[in-house]
Amino acid sequence: MKNKATAIITASALAIAFLLSACGEKSAAETPTPSTSPTTDVSPSPTADSKYPMVVDAKSSVKVDLNGDGMDDDVYYEPSTDGYSIGHLSVNGTDFTKALYDNGLYTDNLEPKYYCITDIDTSDKMLEIAIMDYGPSDDCVTHFFRYDGTALKYIGNISGLIISSFNDKSDLAFNGDGTISSYMRLGVVQTWFAKVNWKLSASGSFEPVPQDLYYPNSDTGCNVTTRVDITAYEKNDAASAKSTLTKGTALTFFATDNKEWLLAETKDKKQFWIHLDSEYGQDVETPSGYVSSIDSFDGLMIAD
């Protein structure tokens, strides 16, 4: 049987396969990097098969067995000249670009120099095509595609980039078991991010692996001061003992369930829980009722 992949790839791309990466900072003439861009310490990590992720030069071909049938498939990718969309993405001479966009793919600011071949799950004999996208406001994502021998299917995206032309930092680590370590944007209180594992589900799309608590991966937005009196709970349980934090108290947010609780700490290292409205997670419980997070804390990061 042929090897799982025989790459037609430049030596320069191989040399940097695991050295360059992710949410690349652009020059001022391009989209500026917002202060809310997440920081991660996930290093580029291949799966058990050290060939992957394989970095390929855009506008060049690579031969790999995408669907595990023992036959190499010829993959070609190039972004459009304006960089907003895919110019060509073909397998074995069939261009799937139009079909992908017709079926819900959205791209905005594509990585100009590289694409990747990945192996998300080493047990399923499938490989994936990965294309990096900086997004409309540096909301960096990597798009993944699978080929079944006939059609190329878009299976979704994960926050962060495998590789970047703009810096040497990677956001994604491939665990080889169907999960990828990266980050996601949290949905409560403000604009912030936490490390998570993403899993390719049975339906063929990516979902974050649920966690009891999510830990923000940056101090940005975690150090705040109360603008009003805040109700503080001993536990993340509405029936637990509670007290009141007075206006002007300095806090650090440590974790959240991304639903209705924040774990916070005062300067004297006392920890407690803050309750959020359970529907949207944007209002904070106070002795006088629920108040919006932006009216409850100074120092939040609010951006899109």
Tens-digit pLDDT profile for residues 132-159: 999 987 789 999 999 999 999 999 999 9
Rg (the chain; Cα; Å): 22
Per-residue pLDDT band for 197 (boundaries 50, 70, 90) equals very high
pLDDT at residue 8 is higher than 90:
no
Distance set, CA 108 to CA 23, 38, 117, 142, 193 (Å): 14, 19, 21, 12, 21
Domains contained in the chain, CATH given: 5-185 (no CATH), 223-298 (2.30.30)
Identify the pLDDT of residue 202: 78
How confident is the prediction for the chain on average, in pLDDT? 85
Residue 295 structure tokens:
């009216």
The distance of Cα 64 from the centroid of its chain, to the nearest Å, equals 26
Which is more confidently placed, 50 or 286?
286
**CB atoms closer than 10 angstroms to residue 70:** 10
Lowest mean pLDDT across 31-45, 143-157, 169-183, 232-246: 31-45
pTM, 2 dp: 0.80
Euclidean distance between CA atoms 185 and 181, whole angstroms: 14
Cis peptide before 136 (omega within 30 of 0): no
Lowest mean pLDDT across 100-109, 139-148, 154-163, 211-220: 211-220
